[in-house]
Amino acid sequence: MSKLKVWIDCKTTGLDPSVDQIHQISAYLPEGNKMFDVFIRYDHNLIGEDFPFTIPTIDDRFDPVTAFRHFKEFLRQIKHEYSPDEPLQFSGKNVSFDLGFLNEHIMWKRIKEEFFHYAPFDLDSVLTYLRDIGFFDKDQSLKLENIVKIFPDIAEKHIAHDGLSDAIVSVKLYQRVKDLADDVLPLEEHKLYYDDES
């Protein structure tokens, strides 16, 4: 059964979920070209000097509870329209990183229980496999801004460090490499489980 993949990307103030915070949650559903993008207010004292993102004005950001409520409503709408009888599949370029931060929020547990019952789909697992079998150079960086340079038509539309752009470009990259990966290993065999799943 083909799972409905919702491509999600989180931008954060750093790399450590125990001290850093999510500042942007973005999601993209290719079916219907459905997009979600929200910025979250956070403690500016936690931002390091190398923070690369543009910070929206305070009026364009939400407190975390409101942001997650908007996110939940977006998921509810697309599930009702596109997958009323089946859970959605959390998908992304680097799922383990995003889940590390999302799992710090109590509202995420409720969202996960309602919408995401399948093991998530991690595009990095496919890219790593393709690099391991020699499709990419063994020294090829798998960072999104680097890997898309192999596909210039994708790279020219990419806005680095923007969550929604990263989610959309991840879909395009997935579509480009899907047939390559399918030749050697079905994509559904790439499994990355939630931390609290057995």
Q: Are residues 87 and 153 in the same domain?
A: no
Count structural domains, the chain.
Answer: 2
For residue 137, being part of any structural domain is answered with: yes
Q: Are residues 47 and 81 in the same domain?
A: yes
Q: Are residues 118 and 49 in the same domain?
A: yes
Q: What is the full per-residue pLDDT of the chain (198 aa) written as tens digits?
A: 578 999 999 999 889 998 888 989 999 999 999 999 998 876 554 444 444 444 444 456 788 889 999 999 999 999 999 999 999 999 999 999 999 999 999 899 999 999 998 889 999 988 988 888 888 899 999 999 899 888 888 888 788 888 999 999 999 999 888 776 666 555 455 443 333 333
- Whether the CB-CB separation of 102 and 108 falls below 8 Å is answered with yes
Mark which of 106, 122, 138 sits at the end of a domain. Answer: 122
Mark which of 89, 105, 122 sits at the end of a domain. Answer: 122
Domain hosting 179: range is 123-185
pLDDT at 42: 64
Q: Are residues 75 and 112 in the same domain?
A: yes
Q: Are residues 115 and 140 in the same domain?
A: no
Mark which of 73, 103, 122 sits at the end of a domain. Answer: 122
Q: Are residues 54 and 152 in the same domain?
A: no
pLDDT at 185: 55
Q: Are residues 105 and 118 in the same domain?
A: yes
Q: Are residues 42 and 115 in the same domain?
A: yes
Give me the torsion for CA of 42, 158, 101, 143, rounded to 10°: -130
CB atoms within 10 A of CB 100: 18
Q: Are residues 17 and 49 in the same domain?
A: yes
Domain holding 64: CATH number? Answer: 3.30.420.10
Q: Are residues 115 and 170 in the same domain?
A: no
Q: Are residues 114 and 160 in the same domain?
A: no
